[in-house]
Amino acid sequence: MKNEVHNLLASYYACLNGNIPGFEVFQLTADDDYKGDYVLLRAESEADTSNRERFVTQPVVIVDIVTHHDQQIDASRVEVADNVIRGMIFPTRRTTGLSLSGSQLLNVRMSDAFYQDEFDGSRYIHRKISRYINRINQT
């Protein structure tokens, strides 16, 4: 059985990078000196649901949408970005914009999301953090 988490994160990055207007996309951590809005991709967990026939894993990918605000928080910015992300990941009802080489991505679903507000001393930060559960059949 292979660990497909790195390849899956790379697939999310390839799908989203450059396609969300006004947002940069980073994997694992954002650049320390970057002050704009961004999307952070990282793995949260992975479950093994293999059987006698095949190796099957279910990695969970976190999509963290981060916006910065000088004054009052405009929550619509994370929702607009979230809609773009969902449109890229799920272009139609039965397809996904993600692809893996050497494995079959059987299912992707957005599990849940939560919001978080922060103040860094000079600006407000508003986040939407979503969990995507992926089912991978290793070929």
pTM value?
0.93
Express each pLDDT in 34-66 by its tens digit: 889 999 999 999 998 888 888 999 999 999 999
- Write out pLDDT tens, residues 71-102: 889 999 999 999 999 999 998 888 889 988 88
Q: How far apart are CA 36 and CA 111, in angstroms?
A: 27
Task: Provide the residue count of the chain.
Answer: 139
CB 139 within 8 A of CB 57: no
Tell me the domains of the chain and their CATH numbers.
5-138 (3.30.2000.30)
CB 58 within 8 A of CB 49: yes
Q: Which residues have C-beta within 8 Å of that of residue 101, sequence separation ≥ 6?
A: 7
Q: Give the contacts of 114 (CB within 8 A, at least 6 positions apart).
A: 128, 129
